Amino acid sequence: MNKVIHKKLNRSLGGSVVLFLIIGVFAFFMMIPLIYAISNSLKPLNELWIFPPRIIVSNPTLKNFNDLFNLMSDSWVPFSRYIFNTLFISLCGTFGHVLLASMCAYSLAKLRFYGSKTIFKIIVYSLMFSSSVTTIPNFLIITKLNLINNYLSIILPAFAAPLGLYLMKQFMESMIPDTLLEAAKIDGASEWRIFFTIVMPIVRPAWLTLIIFSFQGLWNSGSNLYIQSEELKTLNYAISQILAGGIARAGVGSASVVVMMVLPILVFIFSQSNIVETMSTSGIKE
Amino acid sequence: MAVTEKIGFKSRLAMIKKDQVGYLFALPYLILFFTFTVLPIGISIFFSLTDFNSISIRNFVGFDNYIRLILNDDIFIIALKNTLIFASITGPIGYLLCFFFAWAVNEIRPKLRAFLTLCFYAPSISGNAYLIWTLLFNGDSYGYVNSILLKMGLINSPIRYFHDPKYMMTICILVVLWLSLGTSFLVFIAGFQGIDKTLYEAAAVDGVRSRWQELWYITVPSMKPQMMFGAVMSITSSFGIGDVLTGLVGFPSTQYAVHTIQHHLQDYGGARFEMGYASAIATVLFALMLGSNLLVQKMLSKVGE
């Protein structure tokens, strides 16, 4: 009943239509480059060079994708190796990040040890600068740890990404009632047991979010200083080499963009509601 | 006195013992976090005071690197200026876009909302899809934009958007804004969904008459924590712009038209191996990011008080 009155008061039909038109237009503009990438990737050669260029493809073909795979398998390092590298780094890095960040978040949010508040403050500060400012010292640290040309040089820093810990800690703090943990403790459950059988199932949306963020970041990781040998490089690096070919490779280049964007977008579609739920607790409280 | 101290000491021991599990849970993450995030900041600041050349430190040079940056490095001044332009335009505008679109998307029915969210968020997770812009705005007449403008007779010869300093900054800002609906956008969507609906009903009774008034009097104050977090995300990324620009215009850019501090850092650290000097650049960037973040946090915390 209330809701009906509320709608009548503050939601004019005209306003809704205007608002919908505005975001519809903007949403379309946001999608243009992606649509263009998809349409280009499906164009046969003669259509790529039609003047002026068109969005709609009259004879769609998968030739560009075919060419992409041929081009990649012609390279000195087999294409499958780049895929393996990227998948290995993404899966291991994501798994470790979710596990370690959740454990630490649980400790900071619920176990609250001596000094935990200060540590959380440092983590919030670390969100305020990007990791690029620490490239030089990190290169030295990785060298000293003997991790050059080792997957671990990408995986280990990914374990300790601050954003994931921050989101997880905020989520745990507002989603897990202390009384539940106390009850479990009285029943004699150990902290480890509580963590894996009570806490982790409750914070499912949060760790799905961490999985997605971490996976996206690692999946898109390109060339970096720590990996120099060609056979350890990532898919994104290999693909950016193709795109560097410029307009002459417009078709294959677009196909490669499509290949790279499909997975993150699909993952997001299936997990959108979980991410939004996690973000609901993400605010900075003073 | 002595008695209370004794109890204090005992209870502290007991506290640490009780906390043991807490430390164990946190330790693996914290070791890595300190190794790859906290420690490097310290090292970077230390290096910036030396002439470290990636092999050895010969001299402790004090603030010489910083003095050289400001007085003797014209390119750095260009980079600083460009970084500030990028940050002061893409930061606030990106932030407002996130806020506005998140709000607008939330006014839409749930099924359509999920689709629109995807439309806005997709660019920021599509890897190097931003390179498509180089095809859209390609410098010859095959570029989509050029061909339209030529056909309409607005220009006589194709514009080289990514190589003509007159257009580079504008077009790069456009692409960066296109990429800016990222984490903050999702944070705001969640924030809007989390607002207590009864507040709006109460407000309607109290005389709030339009959705614009609702936005100002109820939504913004209730969203404060999310707005502060979103600001951190937007500011940090707007100061760190670099790789995207390299992808668009190459490195170095024509006449350093979009040369940022990030590029300068990569140049000295990655190509010239003047690590002491590069560390000074990194420290300046670090200070800019942290400083503006803390400033904005302070300002936002005053909102609605």
Would you tell me how many other CB atoms lie within 10 Å of the CB of residue B279? 28
CA-to-CA distance for A6 and B198, rounded, in angstroms? 10
What's the rounded mean pLDDT across residues B178-196?
89
CA-to-CA distance for B87 and B191, rounded, in angstroms? 24
What's the rounded mean pLDDT across residues B97-110?
89
Could you read off the pLDDT of A21-38 as tens digits, one per residue?
998 999 999 999 999 889
Of A130, A268, A272, nearest to B289 by CB-CB distance is A130
pLDDT at site A3: 44
Higher pLDDT, A84 or A6: A84
Contacts of B239 in chain A (CB under 8 A): 130
What's the rounded mean pLDDT across residues A197-201?
92
Domain edges within chain B = 1-47, 65-302
- CB–CB of B289 and A128 under 8 A? yes
Residue ranges in chain A assigned as alpha helix (H) = 2-10, 13-41, 45-48, 63-74, 79-106, 116-126, 135-144, 152-159, 162-175, 178-186, 191-194, 200-202, 204-219, 235-243, 250-279
Q: At what angle do helices A250-279 and B110-125 cross, to 10 degrees?
A: 130
Q: Please, what sign has the CA dihedral across residues A222, B75, B282, B237?
A: negative
| pLDDT at A192 exceeding the cut of 50 | yes
% of chain B surpassing 90 pLDDT: 45
Contacts of A157 in chain B (CB under 8 A): 32, 36
pLDDT at site A64: 87
pLDDT at site A247: 55
- A92 in Cβ contact with A150 (< 8 Å): no
- Does A12 fall in a domain? no
Q: Could you tell me the CATH number of the domain that includes residue A76?
A: 1.10.3720.10
What's the rounded mean pLDDT across residues A11-18?
78
Tell me the CA end-to-end span of chain A in Å, nearest whole number. Answer: 37
pLDDT at site A52: 61
What's the rounded mean pLDDT across residues A128-146?
91
- B106 in Cβ contact with A236 (< 8 Å): no
Q: Residue B60 forms beta bridges with which residues?
A: B50
| pLDDT at A208 exceeding the cut of 60 | yes
Whether residue B28 lies within 8 A of chain A, CB to CB, comes out as: yes
Least confident of B220-224, B261-265, B300-304: B300-304
- CB–CB of A283 and B224 under 8 A? yes
- Does A216 fall in a domain? yes
Which H or E run contains B245? helix B243-249
Q: Is B50 helix (H, G, I), strand (E, B) or coil?
A: strand
pLDDT band (50, 70, 90) for residue B20: confident
Rg value, chain A, Cα: 24
Q: Tokens 């712009």 identify what position?
A: B241
pLDDT at site B2: 44
Q: What is the mean pLDDT of chain B?
A: 87
- A153 in Cβ contact with A227 (< 8 Å): yes
Alpha carbon separation from A132 to A139, A242, B44, B164, B209 (Å, rounded):
11, 25, 12, 28, 47
Which of B52, B57, B111, B132 should one mutate to test binding to chain A, selecting the residue with the greatest count of A CBs within 10 A?
B132
What's the rounded mean pLDDT across residues B240-252?
86
- B181 in Cβ contact with B118 (< 8 Å): no
Q: What is the mean pLDDT of chain A?
A: 85
Contacts of B36 in chain A (CB under 8 A): 134, 138, 141, 156-157, 160
Least confident of A3-7, A140-144, A275-279: A3-7
pLDDT at site A2: 42
pLDDT at site B4: 46
φ/ψ (deg, to 5) at A277: -65, -40
Of B41, B186, B201, nearest to A275 by CB-CB distance is B186
**CA angle (A144, A221, B242) in 5-degree steps:** 90
- A214 in Cβ contact with A161 (< 8 Å): yes
| pLDDT at A215 exceeding the cut of 50 | yes
CA-to-CA distance for B237 and B234, rounded, in angstroms? 5
φ/ψ (deg, to 5) at B50: -130, 175
Tally of domains in chain A: 1
Q: Which fold has domain B65-302?
A: MetI-like fold (1.10.3720)
- CB–CB of A104 and B29 under 8 A? yes
Q: Please, what sign has the CA dihedral across residues B205, B210, B214, B216?
A: negative
Of A10, A165, A260, nearest to B211 by CB-CB distance is A10
Residue B182: closest C-alpha in chain A: A213
CA-to-CA distance for B127 and A261, rounded, in angstroms? 6
- A70 in Cβ contact with A249 (< 8 Å): no
% of chain B surpassing 70 pLDDT: 96
Residue A258: closest C-alpha in chain B: B129
Which amino acid type is present at position A12? S
- Does A18 fall in a domain? no
Which range of residues forms the domain containing residue A104? 70-279
Least confident of A6-15, A98-107, B147-156, B206-215: A6-15
Q: Is B60 helix (H, G, I), strand (E, B) or coil?
A: strand
- CB–CB of A36 and B135 under 8 A? yes
Whether residue B269 lies within 8 A of chain A, CB to CB, comes out as: yes
Residue A48: closest C-alpha in chain B: B142
What's the rounded mean pLDDT across residues B160-187?
91
Which of B18, B44, B108, B126 should one mutate to test binding to chain A, selecting the residue with the greatest count of A CBs within 10 A?
B126
- A241 in Cβ contact with A135 (< 8 Å): no
pLDDT band (50, 70, 90) for residue B26: very high
